[in-house]
Amino acid sequence: MAKRTPDTIDNVFKIIKDNDVKMIDFKFMDFPGQWQHFTVPVYELSRDSFEDGFGFDGSSIRGWKSIHESDMLIMPDPKTVLVDPFITIPTISLVCDVYEPLTKEKYERCPRSIAQKAEAYLRQTGIADTAYFGPEAEFFIFDDVRFDSNERESYYHVDSVEGKWNSGRDEKPNLGYKPRYKEGYFPVPPTDSIMNLRNEMAQNLINAGLHVEAQHHEVACAGQSEIDLRFAPLVSAADGLLLFKYIIKNTARLHNKTVTFMPKPVFGDNGSGMHVHQSLWKNGKPLFFGNGYANMSELGLYYIGGILKHAPALCAITNPTTNSYKRLVPGFEAPVNLAYSQRNRSAAVRIPVYSQSPKAKRIEFRTPDPSCNPYLAFSAMMMAGVDGILNKIDPGEPLDKDIYDLSPEELQNVPSAPGSLDIALNALEKDHDFLMKGNVFTEDVIETWINYKLTREVKPVSLRPNPYEFHLYYDV
C-alpha cells in the first residue's frame, strides 16, 4: 500500500485547525469519469485514516463491483487537501485512491490507480521520468437546459442569453449583443457577456491552487468558453482537471447558470474539444526538443507516430461518448484527419511554435474532448506515445496545408478518426496491447470499458427514435 508522508499529513491537520474545519469530504473517480464523494465529521479523521482508509459500498458505482463483493476502501491522498469554497460548513476535500479491503491492493478499475501505474511504467522504461499534460477544456455556459427521453417523446432544449437564435426574442429589452454563429472568438464585452463570470471562475481556480494561464470566449455563441491550465505531471493534471470541472460548474451554479462539458450540445455551431498538450522530461530536461521538423527531436517524432498509429483506439477513451462524434465532423474545426503539422490547427497533432525555447517544445493532440475520464485518457495517450518511441514508429510526412482545402485525391491518403463510438470501441478491441504494457491497463479494464460503453450508451442510443427522424420520415 502507498505510504502517506508525515509532512503532508501534518499539513492536513494544520489546515483543519487553521480553518476550524467541521467536515471531511472524500472524492474519488468512478469508471466512466465522474467524481463521487461522501463526507464524515472531522473527528472521524485521524492520522491512522491515511493508512486504514474508510469503507464504502462499491456496488453502486458505475462500472465497478457486483453486490456480492461490494465492500471497498478509499485512502485519502493528503497532497490533495483543499478547503472547499462552495460548502457552507467549513469542509476540506481530499482526493482518494480506491483499494481492495482484503488484499489492501489498489483496485484494478480505479482510474487514478491506472494513471499512477502509467507514471510508474514510464519511469521503468528509462525513457523519461515525467510526462507533462496540459488540457484545454472547452465548455458551454447555459441559462436553461431541459431534456427528457421516454416511450413517447424525446427532446432537449438549451438556451443562452448569448444564443444567436434569441436575436429576435422579446427580452424587455433585447440589447442585441449576441455573437454570430462561429464568431464567438474573441469579441469584447458587451458581446462577450460572460467576461465577469469567467474571471470569477478563473479566480476561484487560482484560489484552489491551480495555475490559470488564460481565459476567453470560444468560437461558438451561447456562452462557449475556455480556461487554460498550466501543464502538470500526469496524475496531478488529471486531479486538476476534475477540480477544474467542479469549480467551473459550482461557480456557474452560484449565478443560476449551468455548465456542460458535453462535446456537442448545439447543432450548427462549434463543439467543445479538449486539446491536450504533452511532453516527456528526464532529469529536469525536455526530451521533445531537437533538430528535426519543427525543432522536434527524433524521440518526439516517434511519440507522435505512436499517437497517430493508435489514434482510432485512443478515441474510444479520449472521445468516449456517442455525442463526441457529433463534434468529430469536418467543418467545425474538429481535427478528424489523423496527421501532424506545426501551426496547422486542422491536423490531429499540432506542434505549437509560440516559443522556440526547448522547455516549451511539446505536442498537442487536438482530437480529445472534455467528456473523457482524464486519468484514463492521459494514461492512454502517454502509452501510445511511449509505444511509438519503443518501436520507432515513423509519423510520416507532416501536413502543412489546410486539410479542409485538400482535393479528394490528396485526402484519400490521410486517415480519419472513427466516425462513431462503436467504431472506436471496435478499434480499441483490436488494438490495445500497447495499453497493457507494464500492467497499466488490464484485460479486465479494457473489456469492462468496451462492454460498459456498448451496453449503457451505444445500444440505448441506437434503439431510440431520434427527433429529427420524424422530420425525415413521418410521412413515408
Given the residues 4, 277, 362, 366, select the one marked as catalytic. 366
Residues 119, 136, 192, 369: which is the catalytic one? 136
Clarify whether 138 is annotated catalytic. Answer: yes
For CA atoms 267, 165, 192, 187, the dihedral sign is positive
- Annotated catalytic residue 44: no
136 labelled catalytic: yes
The β-bridge partners of 94 are: 26
Contact in structure between 337 and 411 (CB atoms under 8 Å): yes
Q: Grid coordinates representing 352?
A: 505549437
Asked whether 255 and 141 are in contact (CB, 8 A), the reply is no
Tell me, yes or no, if 230 is annotated catalytic: no
471 is catalytic: no
Residue 469 falls in the annotated catalytic set: no
Catalytic residue from among 51, 108, 345, 400: 345
CA distances from 442 to 108, 167, 286, 398 (A): 8, 52, 30, 34
CA distance 74 to 26: 8
Task: Please state, as a whole number, how many other Cβ atoms lie within 10 Å of the Cβ of residue 388.
Answer: 25
Please say whether the beta carbons of 203 and 85 come within 8 A: no
CA distance 325 to 279: 27
Question: What's the CA gap between 238 and 341, in Å, rounded?
Answer: 26
Residue 345: active-site member: yes
CA 154 to chain centroid, in Å, comes to 28
Given 30, 77, 97, 138, which residue is catalytic? Answer: 138
CB atoms within 10 A of CB 420: 17
d(CA 207, CA 216): 19
Given the residues 10, 44, 52, 57, the one annotated as active site: 57
Is 162 in the active site?
A: no
Instruction: Give the residue from 394, 230, 242 showing the smallest Cα distance to 304.
Output: 394
Per the CB < 8 A criterion, the answer to whether 338 and 315 are in contact is no
Q: How many CB atoms are closer than 10 A to CB 17?
A: 10
- The H or E element spanning position 473 is helix 467-473
Active-site option among 84, 226, 239, 369: 226
| Cα four-point dihedral sign 446, 448, 454, 458 | negative
Residue in 275, 310, 350, 362 annotated catalytic: 275
The gap between the terminal CA atoms of the chain, to the nearest Å, is: 63
User: Which residue of the set 364, 369, 387, 422 is catalytic?
Assistant: 364
Cell 488490464, located at residue: 442
Whether the Cβ atoms of residue 11 and residue 81 lie closer than 8 Å to each other: yes
The question of whether 100 is a catalytic residue gets the answer: no
Q: What is each CA distance from 148 to 160, 232, 347, 411, 468, in whole angstroms? A: 19, 39, 36, 40, 15
- Judge whether 349 and 307 are in contact, CB under 8 Å: yes
**How many residues are there in the chain?**
476
Which residue of the set 218, 228, 239, 369 is catalytic? 218
* Distance, CA of 201 to CA of 194 (rounded, Å): 10
State the pairing for strand pair 340-342/349-351.
Answer: parallel
- Distance separating alpha carbons of residues 36 and 61, to the nearest angstrom: 8
* Residues with catalytic function: 57, 136, 138, 218, 226, 275, 345, 364, 366
